[in-house]
Structure 1
Amino acid sequence: MKKKFAKVLAVNVLVASQLLLAACSSDSEKASGEATKFDPESHVDVNWTAILHTASPPTDVVLKKIEEATNSTINFNWVPDASKDERITAALASGELSDIVSLTMLTNSSVRQSLKSGMFWDVSEYLDDYDNLKLISEDIRTAASIDGKLYGVPFQKDLARSGLILRKDWLDNLGLKTPTTLDELYEVAKAFTEDDPDGNGKDDTTGFGDRSELRYGSFKTLSSYFGTPNGWAVDESGKFIPEFETQAYKDTMNYSRKLFENGYIAKDFAVTAKTDQQQKFAQGKTGIYTGMVDIKNLKVMAEGIQDEMELIPVNKIAGPDGEHHIWSENSGVGGLMAFPKSEVKNEEELKRLLQFINDLIDKEVFMLMTGGIEGTHYELDENGAFTVLDNALWQKDTQPFSSSRPSEITHNLIDADPSKQLANELIKENAEFAVLNPTVPLDSATANERGTELEKIIIDATFKYIMGEIDEKAFDAEVEKWRKSGGDDMAKEYEEAYKKSQK
């Protein structure tokens, strides 16, 4: 593949204009369409638009090692997670994209429209030609497909990663046990707010830290505890019922509203970004965090601030029915690494990029993207347990790469940190009671065209209800607005697609 872009010396967080202009290759060089014979060992220049979940992009220390292991030169164009929707949408609209685009918002209507439009390569028939890619399960391939076509390599995730992280030292200070029910969880949130859990004599702590999204904030997880269906429920007749029309969803809103009214959840949650939520937890301002996968990051962030911090992951909070439920993120699919036809001109280029993705799944590269350089960033003890040697250095050189690993399930890593290892084990256990979204493998024209716009109606109404700005009658009016604006059409289209899939 012939590309014209400079060797990357430093990777900067791109602004919107950079995303639209990044990675333009020489059209004159590609215009001829001359196909070169696919050589999996050949050097490849890769321009990759990826999502950044940390405050800063990584240095090139580990990047150089990844390039050596994959025989590549990689130009990462980092998109901050907080602004990924608008920036990726803008890039899709412009049609000027990178060789690889990480599309992690598969329910976003602009993304789905772009995928269905033929903008990206269908890689279904190629995966089995690669030793790592062929191991992607049929369930994950199906969940990541649209109308039977797979427009990229799926990011492989655990089936259900959600759960809670609590300050164990605060529980111990207050003589509280780890909560196992929603009522007990509420009492912990109350005590963490009112009973001076850090013992500093000040009224400066809050139970739940939270952020400005329903899905990855506390609401979706609490909702699954209450028994709310994941996105949609399907009754015996095949009728699709949206989650927010169930009593369990409203019970979750009332629970969250009570937390908010009493100050047991951060008052500014509706305008708080993920990194700010994490910082508040690390600074000892909050004691409950949603997302077990972040337990080690939180401990690292707290070093030098809350060195006494002890954390415990919790994955089982029984709901009103006494059972355990947890929502599944897209049935184990974290998005797609998609290949735009505008940049990847022919099959030979596609095959070389697929080889590159395949190589990223190798144990050597997985460890680089997870731990960094052995002996510098991490070490393995005689039992193979993983320990970070210098957290500040690891954060700077390595951590940002972890969210771009093509697979988090191919290799098992034993963590020397007991709390992190426990979180890993509980995430695996979640699969036993994970609640799937029945629409993941289905298609709806209305959802593709206006799904994000319609979803915003419900998100805004839910936030307003939790904060006491509207009552149940007003919330129901917003649901009716959703139905008339296309929600009913979406439900019917899902029903039709579901019936076809059952034949």
Structure 2
Amino acid sequence: MKKFLLKFLLTIAALALILSACAPAAPTEPPANQATEAPEVAAPTTPPTEPPAPTPEAPVDLEIWVSGRVTEAGPPPEDWVAYDIIKNDLNINLKVVLLPGTQADQDTKINTAAASNSLPDLFFVNRDSWFKITEAGLIANVEEVLPLMPERTKTHYSDPNRNNQVTYNGSLYGLADPGNLVQTDAMVIRQDWLDKLGLEAPKTLDDFLAVAKAFTNDDPDGNGKKDTYGLCAFLDGSGLNGAGLGPRFDFVYGAYGVAGTWNLTSKGDFGLNVRNPNYMKATEFIRTLNEEGVINPDWPTLKKDDFRVGWKQGKCGMMQENFAALSTKSNYADFDANFPDGEWVSFDPPTGPDGASSAGVTLTPARIYAVSQKAMDEGKGPAIARLLEWMATDGYMLLAFGEEGVNYKLDANGYVTTEGLADADKWTAKEAQPLTQLANMVYIFSDIELQARYPAYKAESGREMAPLDYYNAFGKQAYTNSSGAAVINPPANAADFVRFYSENIVQFVLGQKPLTEEAWAEYIAGLDSLGAKDLEASALQTLIDTGFIE
């Protein structure tokens, strides 16, 4: 009985413990003298530490050398709005340097910088100099920056013919932008002079000489002075593809079927045109023009800008000129002011003794920009890509036409217009030309662009001018296809080779050397001694490899 009672009491005690553990705890009454509010937390003696702000990345300094849209105009002003945008949006301090107006002077500046390893970050360069500097290891492979500028790559660097021109050892070592419009330069003549003298535009080289004599000797402007010339020209171009007298005289060589440096008609006929007897005959004709005094006498030393001053001052009766340099409003204004009754018209290049005719050579043009190896080594590749991508997107209209509402407006169809703007502010005005000096870096020759760049207008004299009419007329003329010449690499001794090639032709024309079969054979032998045959063999292989000749 006692054992049963003990077990019963133990069981009751265990149940009580279990029930008390499961029940909610009763609130504890605080002591009477203790406050029930939560105690105040003391304010910190120092404010909480904020995470450090990231250090702003320092702007990247970029120097670019460019070929300006208008050689006679100056660089963008220091307060150019694009400088601020490029700094604020792209984090780039941009310095723009305009290269000289002629290709020869551009080559000199760039080659001098290369010799001292002081090339700028990004620079415009002709292909011969590009190849030489690339071989020296001073130009960077640009393939790694192309993905950083997708729009620019799509609109500027997707043409295989252009890219072939900047390919070295299988990789791209240059940025081949769309070049100039093709077939933009051709022969023009003063129609008012023809009318005054009762003449017609020449059709043959004999006609050309006769008209040139009349323009020189018969006072076509009626001022009573002998101050005009039948033909105005200058030595234009440099490098292997501009060797000789350059493109301003190509219409004569074209009349003999030998325009340009190379004969690219077939694999069997390939070679330097100077080997063709007709090249000597064309040189003889130019020598006759010089002996007759019908060419401006300073043509061997004249620069492009001075050449253009000459025709604007009424010195020239015939010339090969660029349609835009001739006829756009700002370029035509001086001539129009000086000769309100003057009129330039296009005419077909004269035919030679065998009926050949050519205004010059045509090829797939590229405006080559190169990145210096030094800039790439300094980590500037991404900044260069940012700049070029901006130029192809947000910066396109600013660089091409200036500020909207100040230098241009858009009409209802989205075309560029200058209606209602102050004359001096219009992007087409001479005063505004510095603002669009980088336009050649963004042009892609769309319809809106052509209509904007070359609008029709009424000159101060009242003459209706349509630059695209000149361009279309030039495009109907005969040209010599020389596209393959763009990929021919110059020889190691290119400077000496081109100098010998060109200086001898000039001396033949000026009468400083006899122009005989013997003298010409000696000239060809001199080219061969400088490696002409090796150059031709190498060039032919390059043309075969790139598919320009089969």
**TM-score normalised over the length of structure 2:** 0.72
Task: From 83, 95, 100, give the equivalent of 1:80.
Answer: 100
Partner of 2:294: 264
Partner SS, residue 482 of structure 1: helix
Contact 1:369 1:399 in 2 (8 A): no
Is it true that 1:309 corresponds to 2:342 in the alignment? yes
Partner SS, residue 342 of structure 1: helix
The one-letter code matched in structure 1 to 2:497 is: L
Partner SS, residue 171 of structure 2: coil
Task: From 111, 121, 127, give the equivalent of 1:106.
Answer: 127
Q: Distance in 2 between matches of 1:215 and 1:168?
A: 27
Task: From 56, 63, 67, give the equivalent of 1:47.
Answer: 63
Contact 1:112 1:448 in 2 (8 A): no
Q: 1:288 to 1:102 in 2, by over 3 A?
A: same
Is it true that 1:495 corresponds to 2:540 in the alignment? yes
The one-letter code matched in structure 2 to 1:153 is: L
Q: Distance in 1 between matches of 2:228 and 2:536?
A: 43
Partner of 1:34: none
CA shift for structure 1 position 357: 2.2
CA shift for structure 1 position 343: 1.7
Q: Distance in 1 between matches of 2:176 and 2:245?
A: 20
Task: From 350, 368, 372, give the equivalent of 2:381.
Answer: 350
Q: 1:392 to 1:380 in 2, by over 3 A?
A: closer
Contact 1:182 1:317 in 2 (8 A): yes
Task: From 203, 209, 213, give the equivalent of 2:226.
Answer: 203
Task: From 411, 416, 421, give the equivalent of 2:468.
Answer: 421
CA shift for structure 1 position 220: 2.7
Contact 1:47 1:99 in 2 (8 A): yes
CA shift for structure 1 position 67: 5.6
Q: 1:169 to 1:425 in 2, by over 3 A?
A: same
Partner of 1:20: none
CA shift for structure 1 position 102: 1.0
Structure 1 segment 69-468 matched on structure 2, within 5 A: 71=90, 72-82=92-102, 83-103=105-125, 105-108=126-129, 111-124=130-143, 126-127=145-146, 130-135=150-155, 136-157=158-179, 158-213=181-236, 214=244, 216=246, 218-234=248-264, 236-238=266-268, 240-293=270-323, 294-295=325-326, 296=328, 298-302=331-335, 304-314=337-347, 316-322=349-355, 324-328=357-361, 331-334=364-367, 336-345=368-377, 349-362=380-393, 365-373=395-403, 376-377=406-407, 384=415, 389-390=423-424, 394-398=429-433, 401-402=436-437, 405-406=440-441, 408-412=443-447, 413-414=450-451, 415-417=455-457, 418-426=465-473, 429=476, 433-443=479-489, 447-468=490-511
Partner of 2:75: 58
CA shift for structure 1 position 126: 4.8
The one-letter code matched in structure 2 to 1:60 is: P
CA shift for structure 1 position 360: 2.5
Write out per-residue CA displacement over residues 153-174 of structure 1, whole angstroms, 9 at most, x where no aligned residue.
1132223332123223323333
Write out per-residue CA displacement over residues 393-452 of structure 1, whole angstroms, 9 at most, x where no aligned residue.
83343258457612544323222143422233345556x844215342243xxx342112
Partner SS, residue 155 of structure 1: strand
CA shift for structure 1 position 301: 3.7
Contact 1:240 1:492 in 2 (8 A): no
CA shift for structure 1 position 339: 0.6
Identify which range, 251-260 or 58-67, moves more after superposition: 58-67
Partner of 1:483: 528
Partner SS, residue 187 of structure 1: helix
Partner of 1:14: none
Number of aligned residue pairs: 453
Q: Distance in 2 between matches of 1:205 and 1:376?
A: 41
Contact 1:206 1:286 in 2 (8 A): yes
Q: Distance in 1 between matches of 2:404 and 2:216?
A: 42
Q: 1:420 to 1:365 in 2, by over 3 A?
A: farther
Write out per-residue CA displacement over residues 77-97 of structure 1, whole angstroms, 9 at most, x where no aligned residue.
223134222211110111112
Partner SS, residue 269 of structure 1: coil
Provide the identity percentage: 20
Partner of 1:25: none
Partner SS, residue 226 of structure 2: coil
Q: Whose Rg is larger?
A: 2
The one-letter code matched in structure 2 to 1:352 is: A
Q: Distance in 1 between matches of 2:207 and 2:293?
A: 17
* Larger relative contact order (Cα-Cα within 8 Å, sequence gap ≥ 6): 1
Write out per-residue CA displacement over residues 160-205 of structure 1, whole angstroms, 9 at most, x where no aligned residue.
3321232233233333344444444333322221222212222211
Partner SS, residue 492 of structure 1: helix
Contact 1:230 1:437 in 2 (8 A): no
The one-letter code matched in structure 2 to 1:305 is: N
Unaligned runs of 5+ in 1: 1-38
Partner of 2:46: none
The one-letter code matched in structure 2 to 1:46 is: L
The one-letter code matched in structure 2 to 1:130 is: P
Q: Distance in 1 between matches of 2:273 and 2:62?
A: 41
Q: 1:433 to 1:172 in 2, by over 3 A?
A: same
Q: 1:224 to 1:298 in 2, by over 3 A?
A: farther
Unaligned runs of 5+ in 2: 1-56, 237-243, 458-464
Contact 1:278 1:298 in 2 (8 A): no
CA shift for structure 1 position 285: 1.3
